[in-house]
Amino acid sequence: MNDTRERKRSHIEICTNRDVRFRKSTLLEEVELIHCALPECDLEDVSLATTFLDRPLGAPFFIGAMTGGTGDGGAFNMTLAEGAARYNIGMCLGSIRPALLDSSCIPEFQVKQVSKDLLVFANIGANQLNSFSPDQILDLSAELADGLMVHLNAGMELIQPGGDVRFSGQIDAIARLVERASGHPIIVKETGMGLSLRDGVRLKRAGVTAVETAGAGGTSWVGVETERATGINRAVGKVLWDFGIPTAASIHWMNELGFETIGSGGVYNALDAARAIRLGAQAVAMARPFLLAYEQERRHGVEQLIEELVVGLKYVMLCVGAVDMAQLKNVPCIVGNKLQRFFEIDS
């Protein structure tokens, strides 16, 4: 348990103080939204209201999964939750594995006490689905959250010192969890390398209906683990630092397959969010920007970032002539050649 706690603290320190971003693009810039000089609406007419898995949100944003079980008493998660509740956006918790191993960690994840209306998703690694029973996982998730994310992180585990390199049986374990969930939503997410068409097809067959892309272009979790690794793993980590599916391509594919999709992976601002939604995302998630905002100015920093995203998205929508999410999904756009090439790939 202490090893897990120290690893999580190390992740936070590295993401805060080192440049662990991808050095290649999300390709979101390949989505050129066409400006509308005659929007024929007022700013007050623009609505960011949306739903995700039938739950209402004031704006299509999630604070992405980051942490829990670090021993900080939950101050970080509670601050994020307070900001999310104030603006009626969603929040994703870090892996609940520490709480499954040690119940004394549970208070660090109990953010629903901030507001019963706060939309929260718990989180567990796919490799843990064979270490704990579905009932153990689902019972704790239901206690803490409104649904459960299952994260896929093969690349990260390969480079991580002491990482779990057994990945067989994950899709069957996900299918069993979905079958057992009985109305408790299950979302499958990547952790920085994106979901492919092939992944999407397999997840559909397993009964999954919602995903988070976590594509290449944002924080490289291979990069994070490379910073922690030594020897061969450090050398190979440097090679694989930028490997993965650009976020824009993954969003498009997941939308084409009919998933409710959270677009994430290098979504840094309102224009990125608008482009992701135009590609088919129902909402977007951001993690490291919130970590940096918290480290700089705690609650004020978190709330200022949310406000910038909310106000910024309203401005973008007015500039493209969209008064709500439905219209934003259908505004005229041009897709660049680099992204178009991904659209032509089949499973």
Tens digit of each residue's pLDDT (9 = 90 or more) over 77-120: 999 999 999 999 999 999 999 999 999 889 999 999 999 999 99
Where does residue 280 fall: left (phi above 0), alpha (psi -120 to 50 degrees), or beta otherwise? left
| Confidence (pTM) | 0.95
> What is the Cα–Cα distance from 32 to 134, expressed in whole angstroms?
43
For 190-230, the pLDDT digits (tens) are 999 999 999 999 999 999 999 999 999 999 999 999 999 99
Confidence of residue 72 (pLDDT cuts 50, 70, 90): low
What value does the mean pLDDT take over residues 296-318? 97
- C-alpha 295: how far from chain center: 20
pLDDT band at 2 (very low <50, low <70, confident <90, very high): low
pLDDT at position 95: 93
Q: What is the per-residue pLDDT across 139-191, written as a single tens digit (0 to 9) for each?
A: 999 999 999 999 999 999 999 999 999 999 999 999 999 999 989 999 999 99
Single-letter amino acid, residue 278: R
Name the residue with tokens 């803490």. 144
264's enclosing H/E stretch is: strand 260-264
The reported pLDDT for the residue numbered 62 is 98
- Residue 66: which pLDDT band, with cuts at 50, 70 and 90? confident
| Surface-to-core class of residue 313, CB atoms within 10 Å of its CB (0-12 exposed, 13-18 middle, 19+ buried) | buried
pLDDT grade for 345, boundaries at 50, 70 and 90: confident
CA distance 163 to 152: 13
Does position 346 have pLDDT exceeding 90, yes or no?
no
Distance CA 126, CA 135 (A): 15
**What's the CA gap between 110 and 127, in Å, rounded?**
23
Q: What is the pLDDT of residues 232-290, one digit of tens each?
A: 999 999 999 999 999 999 999 999 999 999 999 999 999 999 999 999 999 999 999 99
CATH ID of 2-343, from 3.30.450.90, 3.30.420.590, 3.40.50.12280, 3.20.20.70: 3.20.20.70
Per-residue pLDDT, 315: 98
Is pLDDT above 90 for 70? no
Within 130-193, strands assigned E span 147-151, 186-189
Asked whether the predicted pLDDT for residue 4 surpasses 90, the reply is no
Q: Which amino acid is at 53?
A: L
Give residue limits of the domains in the chain: 2-343
